[in-house]
């Protein structure tokens, strides 16, 4: 019952593609719209939908996984 911050804003640019989070289930329509719009806005890149529900349950998302971990 806990609400999670499932956001498409947490995508990631690579050299030739965009990794775009997808949340499935009741969000399937929004997932498809996000892919369509991102592909329209960035036609030179391949939009790669990535299942991300498990990531947000863990407290992050695709962009968060790319961040540096400082040395201790």
pLDDT of residue 8: 84
pLDDT of residue 1: 65
pLDDT of residue 68: 67
**Nearest CA among 50, 45, 39 for reference residue 10:** 50
The low-confidence residues of the chain, meaning pLDDT below 50, are none
Which residues are catalytic, by number? 64
For residue 50, the cross-strand partners are: 21
């Amino acid at each position: 019952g806990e609400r999670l911050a499932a956001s498409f804003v947490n995508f990631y640019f690579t050299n030739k593609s965009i990794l775009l989070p997808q949340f499935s289930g009741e969000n399937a329509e929004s997932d498809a719209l996000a892919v369509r719009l991102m592909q329209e806005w960035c036609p030179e890149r391949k939009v790669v939908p990535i299942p991300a529900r498990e990531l947000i349950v863990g407290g992050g998302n695709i962009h968060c996984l790319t961040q540096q971990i400082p040395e201790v």
